[in-house]
Every structure is written in structure tokens, then in C-alpha cells.
Amino acid sequence: MLLRSFLVVALAQLVSPAQAQDNKAFDAAVAFGARQSVADLSLSPDGLTVAYVAPSQSLGSALYTLRLEKGAKAKPVLVASGKPERLSRCHWVSNDRLACGIYGVARSAQGLLPFTRQIAVNADGSNLKLLSTQAHLYTRGLQLGGGTVIDWLPDQDGAVLMSRHYLPDDHTGTRIASTAEGLGVDLLDTRTLASRTVEPPRRDAVVYLSDGRGTVRIMGMNVPGPGNQDTGVTVYYYRARDSRDWQKLGNYNYVERNGFAPLAVDHDRNIAYGLRKKDGRQALYSLALDGSMREELIFSRPDVDIDGLIEIGRRYRVVGLSYATDYRTVVYFDPEIDKITTTISNALASESKVWIADSSVDERKLLLFSSRDDDPGVYYLLDRQTHHLDTFLVARDELEGVKLAKVKPITYSASDGTSIPGYLTLPPNAGTAKGLPAIVMPHGGPGARDEWGFDWLAQFYAARGYAVLQPNFRGSSGYGDAWYQQNGFRSWQTAISDVLDAGRWLVAQGIADPGKLGIVGWSYGGYAALQAAVTDSGVFKAVVAIAPVTDLNELKEEEGDWSDYDLVKQQIGEGPQVRAGSPAQNAGKIKVPVLLFHGALDRNVPIAQSEHMARSLQKAEVPHELVTWDNLDHSLEDSGARTEMLRKSDEFLRRAFGI
């Protein structure tokens, strides 16, 4: 089988989360390159046990549970090898059972195929079940998606509502033949796999939303174009209470961000929360699900998009919204939750942000997470009845006790006078912010933005003595349509000009020594780093590009066998600007050394992009090196690989700067 079950192996193969290296000289590459010590924390319905995922050997991941009682020790449940299966997003189904997501990338005759699956397991590691539908020899098609739990059904012990993908099979003329195809919803017993169809599979269905009370209220259907190509348009339908009839809610265009995009259903208010543009920026609205289609503006900003909801509890109760200006801000609808988070944030430290990671089913016990720019984060447990707050786990063991850098929001002027926002990180022990070796670090995406907070990559370079500037250049998301323009590929001239101006600003301010200024980027950021050196090779003295896009036309053609091919073509565009905006087609214009990193299992940006760049640099006689890993994907989620990348890039920059 192409996608076999899972490499969830015996408990004997588990290893504990990495611990800080006591009594050893601090090695910044090892400490910052280490994967996060704990992630995906979940609180059991009764609030007595926490589950979390931690790194295991190499690029594997392990699930642990820990009783919240004095003297309790973490117990291993299961482990995934990471070759290719990776374990994540574990959530309690009941007080003794969990459901987890699996993600991986598999090699096949069709190329690299990303896949997901859902599994369930008892807290003691027994009764492991595959919740996703299973492919077999007669199945037609590739089952890449493993489905999603859309309702945790806290009143039904061990059962969930789950959207599941169905493929038809070729048992033609037999009683076990099936023509079911598409995404449906099943009521599924995670212990026995007994199931009942709640929503029949529909070929073009892409999402279902439940009301947290076991009823599917919203369905999203893809609107295909010629040849079943994606159009980026989803038509949404809703059900009124106590009705089985679907009524049209409206269309949403995910390319142009037009229409109403539902995010959640509020059972008590009988509304859907969703995003709709107001004055060119995303705002939060509610839409009545009683047939009236009454719409209400909940919250908007004149400067940035509203980009998310805050939900707590096993019913995903909506308690607030979130957006980012210079800092991430949460607006709570629930005054009690607002009071709790504000009080704890003020008590911990200035600038600390407190988030609700999970809660017990009655919301009396809360799992909280607090972090800031110079703190990777700490998990806390709060008992709302006793008002007792306990420190629980730290996010990154290796950085405990390490002095980290502060991050300062700044603005600088682009060449056309536009004020560009960004974040400046200075070395934690810098005596002065003058004449430093420096790095401009454009973010990935292009549909993304940087935010204030802890960033392991920027913090590593700061720890090594570099000033780091992360610009939210035009083409970044989060600031509305006018700022996003046509995206960072079609509008690359503006985006790259802003990135170059970030470097010029560092020099003009005296922060950077002009002979010791480099550029480092990942994904689109790697593209921006290379294209900046093509556009003006006199600004940066060295380029580090991690998993970069290097040829825009090739990026389009690599999607030729996928249904989003037309969308990728639209994103990148046509004409001479495509060749002019491709670093691999213009390598001869680069006059500084280049260091490339890439994983061979990268489905986001195929390794062929870096290989093409390396060949072009070789032909142009530009000093360069390409470092690759056979079993890693776009995120390079391996402590050893990340350590190697950090160490090599630091040494490369120091050589280029002559330090």
C-alpha cells in the first residue's frame, strides 16, 4: 500500500523530551536548533490529566500523559518515527482516550504526496484504532486526507463527529461495492469504530462546521472550474435549527478574499461567526442562522485584518477575537475570561501574553500558555475555584536560564516614502546598537507576516551577535488589500524593493556595518533573499536561502498534476516579469556568496528549485553551497538538521563578513 497504516511502535522505543545541557558550555546552534520540548498540550475533560507531544529520536515524536497530582510522572503512550509519519494535535476524546493527527510526505510514482490520518488510543497505549477511512486494493484514487474531528461530543463518552474522505471501489456487482465519494460526516465510536453516517459523502464538499452540540450546521462546497481545477471559490450552506434542509449562506473567494467566510457556529445565539472585508480589511461579523440572514459587524480595525477567533472548552465556545498590529491583541467577549488572562498577564511580567490553551469540560480548570519576545513560553494550570496557579511545563528546555534578546517594533521609509513596519532584534549583550554585523530576514509566505514574539531563528542570530531586522514588506498579509497588492510574487518588484530598503535603513541608522550585512530567508523569504541579491547585489554581502523558490515558471509547472494549478498560475502571473523575478534565471547578477538549504521531501517548495539555483550559480561562477537532507520536508523538523543549518549559516556569514 502507498500509505500504509502508521509507524506507531512499541513503548520501548520512546525517549524522554530533550533536557537542558547542564554543566556544559552553551552551544547556541544546539540550543536554538532543538525542537520545542513540548507541544499540542491538551487537558482531559475532568481536568485531572494533561497530554502533550514531545520530540523523540531523530525527527520522531511521542505522546505522553501526566496526571496532575503530587509525585506523578509522565507516562509514554505511543511514538511516531517521523519517517514519514509525524504525530501531532492530540486531544482527549474522554478521560482515558485520545485522538491524534498524523502527517507525513510519501514518495510515489506520482511524486511527493502529503497525507494526513487520524488515530485514537487509550491513555495507557492500548486499543490503537485508525479513525480515517481505509483504502484497499480496489479503491480508485489516492486517499491523501485523513479527515478532521469537527465535534468532540463531550456528552458521549469516546465518540466524535468526524469529517471523513471516501473513495469509490471497484467491487463492481458485489454487495461490498461502493460508489461513495467525497467528504462526509460520521458519528464514530473511537473505541470500536462503529459508525453512523450523519452527512453523506459529497464529491465537492471541503468543510463542515458543527454547533458543538452534535449538529452539523454549515457545509462548504468547492466550486470547480474547467477540468475540475480549483477556482478558490467555496459556496457555503447552512441549516436552520431543527431542520435538515440546506439553505445557501453565500460564496467566499479565498483568492480575492470576497464574501463571508464562516469560522464557527454559536449554538446559543444561533449565529455563525465569520470574516468579511470592510474597507479592504478583514473584519469579524456574525450572521444569523434563523433564515433572516441578519448580519452584524462584531469588530474591525482601520489598519489591520481581524484574523482569528478565540475558542475554549470541548465545545469550542467562542470567547473572543484576535488581530496583530505591532503586537498581538485579543479582544474578549467573555468578561470573566478577560479578567483571568489580564490578571495573570500583569502578575507574570510586563509584555507577557497569556493564552488559554485548553480547559476542562466545565471550564473550571484552565491550561494557560504565556510567552513574550525573550521567553519561548511556559504552561500554567489554573483552578478557577481555588484561584491556584501552578507552573507546569516550559516550551523549550534548552533555553531555560539563557538570556534572550528583546524585540522592538520599528518602521523605516521605503524608497517611495512608504512607511514599512518591522521588528528589530539586537544582541542581548550588545553594549551599543552601532556598527554590528546584521541580517535582514524576510518572512515566508508570501501570504504571511511577522509578529512580535519569540522567534528561534532570529534569536539564534542575535545570540551570535547579529542585529536582525524582520520587515513586513508590501506583499505581506494582515494589513489589508492595498498592502498585500497582487502578492509577493506578482508584485515582487515592490516587495523586494522594500526588503532592500530594510538593509539600507540598518546602514543609514548606523546599526549595521555596511561590510557586514547579510540576508537570510526561508521559503518565500529565501526567494526574497536571492531576488534581492539579483536586483541590487551591492546591499547584502552574503545570502542564506532555506527551501527557497528560485524559478517562478517552474513553480507553476510543478503544480501541473494538481487541482490548484490554475490558482498557482494566477498567483505568479505571466510575461517578462516572471523571468525577471526568477533568481535561477538571473544568477549572473549575484555578486556575493550564497548558501542554500533544502529537504528532499519538501512538497511546499520542491528541492528541484534549490538544485536549479545551484546549477545556475555554478554556471555563473558565483561561490555557493547547497546542503540537503533526504528525509526532511519544508519545515526541517529535526533538531540535528536545524543545528547543522544554524552552525553552517553562522560560519558562512562570518567568513563573508571577515569576522
Whether 217 and 198 map to the same domain: the answer is no
Give me the residues paired with residue 599 across strands: 629
The DSSP-derived string for 527-569 is HHHHHHHHH-TTT-S-EEEES----HHHHHHTTTTSTTHHHHH
Whether 589 and 635 map to the same domain: the answer is yes
Q: Which of 269, 300, 331 is the last residue of a domain?
A: 300
CATH of the domain at 430: 3.40.50.1820
Is the Cβ–Cβ distance between 90 and 100 less than 8 Å?
yes
Whether 183 and 232 map to the same domain: the answer is no
Q: Which of 300, 325, 352 is the last residue of a domain?
A: 300
- Residue 425 belongs to some domain of the structure: yes
pLDDT for res 3: 35
Whether 295 and 191 map to the same domain: the answer is no
pLDDT for res 44: 97
Distance separating alpha carbons of residues 18 and 12, to the nearest angstrom: 17
pLDDT for res 266: 97
Structural domains of the chain, count: 3
Is the Cβ–Cβ distance between 81 and 7 less than 8 Å?
yes
Whether 45 and 121 map to the same domain: the answer is yes
C-beta neighbour count of 406 within 10 angstroms = 13
- Residue 637 belongs to some domain of the structure: yes
Whether 499 and 619 map to the same domain: the answer is yes
Whether 78 and 218 map to the same domain: the answer is no
Containing structural domain, residue 553:
407-657
- Residue 324 belongs to some domain of the structure: no
- Residue 499 belongs to some domain of the structure: yes
Whether 275 and 183 map to the same domain: the answer is no
Whether 148 and 273 map to the same domain: the answer is no
Which has the closest alpha carbon to 490: 465, 516, 524, 521? 524
- Residue 357 belongs to some domain of the structure: no
CATH of the domain at 72: 2.40.128
Distance separating alpha carbons of residues 65 and 52, to the nearest angstrom: 7
- Residue 83 belongs to some domain of the structure: yes
pLDDT for res 9: 33
Mean pLDDT per 10-residue interval, the chain, length 659 residues: 32 32 72 96 96 91 94 94 90 97 90 94 96 74 88 94 89 60 96 97 96 97 93 97 95 96 97 98 98 97 97 93 96 94 84 90 95 95 93 94 96 98 94 92 95 98 98 97 95 98 98 97 98 97 98 94 91 94 98 98 96 98 98 95 98 97
In the numeric block, the cell 469529517 is attached to: 163
What's this model's pTM, rounded to 2 decimal places? 0.93
Whether 100 and 124 map to the same domain: the answer is yes
Whether 194 and 229 map to the same domain: the answer is no
- Residue 374 belongs to some domain of the structure: no
Whether 512 and 557 map to the same domain: the answer is yes
Q: Which of 279, 300, 321 is the last residue of a domain?
A: 300
- Residue 15 belongs to some domain of the structure: no
